[in-house]
Structure 1
Amino acid sequence: IEFDRFQQVDSKQVEDLRKQQNIGDETVFVSVSRLSNEKNIDFMIDAMAQLKEQTDKAFRLLIVGDGHQRRRLQGRIDDMNLQQHITLVGAVPPEQMAAWYRLGDAFLFASQSETQGMVILEAMAAGLPVVAVRSSGIDDVVEDGHNGYKTPAKQSLWCERVKQILDDTDLRQSLSDNALAFARDYSVEKFSKDVRLIYAETLARYHQTK
């Protein structure tokens, strides 16, 4: 990932987005996902409805992305009276994504079809702890209880972890610090350095055996 891009976000751009989305002092959760069946968006909507019943704290989930399920999902959000808690943002240009991540306090993800955890690493590069449903794409990225949480596809357990992050600001900060440090190891610069080292060691051994 381009780690530095997430450290160089213009604070005015973030503040403009806050105003655009009418965000006050509520805790902001961010999710980035195509709006399609395999991304498990309904799972998150149901969990937010459950969270609403369990807390008096203000929160908002911004779901960035578009897809053929958008109209149906918006209808479901409206039917469940969750308009104040869930916003379908729509598609965002890649060059603006760092600022959207920076809006958040934590990153939520429920897809079980991931093969790579790229959006999760990007979120961590913006300092966001992660709550995700366990899948092969996130197992090596989310260290449970260290930089976020990964749960089985059980809504009550997933929601419990989200509530922990909502309720405990010290925990959220600790997970955030660990997420940022973890993502730094996946930077383009670190990856390039590691690759150069591997080639150098391989060539050295080759010449030693000749």
Structure 2
Amino acid sequence: MRQIKAIVEKYQIQLINAQSSKDRYTSILSRWRYGLNVKLVHTRRQTPQSVGGWLQNTFYTKGTDKIIVISEQLKKTFIRQGIPASHLEVIYNGVHPDFFAALDDNKVQALRSHYQLTPEDRVIGCVARLKKQDQLVRALQWLGKEVKLLLVGVEVGTFDELAHRLNLTQTILYAGKVKREELANYYALFDVFVLPSTTDGFGLVLIEAMGMGIPVIGTRSEGIIDVLENGKNGLLFEDGDDKGLADSIELIMNTPQVRNELIAAGRIAVQQTFTLERTIERYEQFFEALIGN
């Protein structure tokens, strides 16, 4: 906390934006302890998982000037948990254009060879840490043998036991953890992208996939429904409805018109709403208004 005080005073900082749970506590306590003359804003990206309840919410509300959330649905969650609506500001995430520029066709072909993907194979992709991908594994039961599932971000073998029980061991492929600068090459392998999470406050990977021209499917849950409009720029399925998820995948794979419409609308959504430039612009406007510049 002394370091925060020293930095604020040395550089005459007017505003602190805390991004992680540790930063949130430290920033509030530092301002209180040292009487720092700074505005304090927290950014929240996920549904709250802690059990602090009303006491923690009061601490965050009293200790900050504003809380930024990354979706309208996440805002509603915080309101239900006792944070005043007037204390919350929605600013969507955005994707950097350099993400798409990192695509390397030679690396994509090398990955296709590595995973022994044939021209007939149809690849479902998911880029996420452990976020209910078991739903995706179970959905494979209703899809053809040419359909493969490539999981990026989870440990190799995570779903081997489930896959073995369902006789799907040859269908599931693992990439493990991948460096961000290499992710575009993995997205390029996907025919469909699925995010089966129920805890994402937004779902940045969805707009990355949409920007890459990949049709997307997500759980009908908070955050994701801020990004996806069912039947317009993506498809939604109910959490736990493995067959419904399989049907959505099949619809995209077997109906070119639906696939092409979702791809086109997804790209437009990213270009118009979910760019990093737009996110930065919104942050700057918000911060300047807060400090009175």
* TM-score when normalising by structure 2: 0.60
Moved more, 24-33 or 80-89: 80-89
1:118-162 Cα deviation digits (max 9, x unpaired): 111111121111111111020110111111101212222221111
State whether residues 3 and 125 of structure 1, in contact with CA within 8 Å, keep that contact through their aligned partners in structure 2.
Answer: no
Determine the structure 1 residue equivalent to 2:177. 91
Q: Kindly, what percent of the aligned residue pairs are identical?
A: 27
**CA positional deviation for 1:85:** 2.1
DSSP-derived class of the 1:140 partner: helix
Moved more, 138-147 or 3-12: 3-12
Which amino acid in the other structure matches residue 128 of structure 2?
Answer: S
Q: How does 1:117-196 map to 2 (within 5 A)?
A: 117-153=203-239, 154-184=241-271, 185-193=273-281
State the distance in 1 between where 2:238 and 2:167 align. 27
- Indicate how the Cα distance of structure 1 residues 192 and 79 shifts in structure 2: closer, same or farther if over 3 A, else same: same
State the distance in 2 between where 1:112 and 1:191 align. 23
Determine the structure 2 residue equivalent to 1:51. 143
Q: Which has the higher contact order (CA 8 A, sep 6+)?
A: 1
DSSP-derived class of the 1:12 partner: helix
State whether residues 74 and 88 of structure 1, in contact with CA within 8 Å, keep that contact through their aligned partners in structure 2.
Answer: no
- Indicate how the Cα distance of structure 1 residues 6 and 85 shifts in structure 2: closer, same or farther if over 3 A, else same: same
- Where in structure 1 are there 5+ consecutive unaligned residues? none
DSSP-derived class of the 1:127 partner: coil
Determine the structure 2 residue equivalent to 1:29. 124
State whether residues 124 and 180 of structure 1, in contact with CA within 8 Å, keep that contact through their aligned partners in structure 2.
Answer: yes
Determine the structure 1 residue equivalent to 2:91. none
1:24-67 Cα deviation digits (max 9, x unpaired): 122211101213xxx11221111111223xxx7x2211110124
Which amino acid in the other structure matches residue 159 of structure 1?
Answer: A
**CA positional deviation for 1:195:** 5.6
DSSP-derived class of the 2:159 partner: helix
- Work out whether 1:63 is the aligned partner of 2:151: yes
1:46-92 Cα deviation digits (max 9, x unpaired): 1111223xxx7x2211110124xx54511221332213322122111
Which amino acid in the other structure matches residue 23 of structure 1?
Answer: L
- Indicate how the Cα distance of structure 1 residues 71 and 87 shifts in structure 2: closer, same or farther if over 3 A, else same: closer
State whether residues 134 and 152 of structure 1, in contact with CA within 8 Å, keep that contact through their aligned partners in structure 2.
Answer: yes
Structure number with greater Rg is: 2
State whether residues 202 and 226 of structure 2, in contact with CA within 8 Å, keep that contact through their aligned partners in structure 1.
Answer: no
**CA positional deviation for 1:171:** 1.9
Moved more, 118-127 or 76-85: 76-85
**CA positional deviation for 1:7:** 4.4
- Where in structure 2 are there 5+ consecutive unaligned residues? 1-94
Q: How many residues align?
A: 195
Determine the structure 2 residue equivalent to 1:19. 113
State the distance in 1 between where 2:232 and 2:101 align. 21
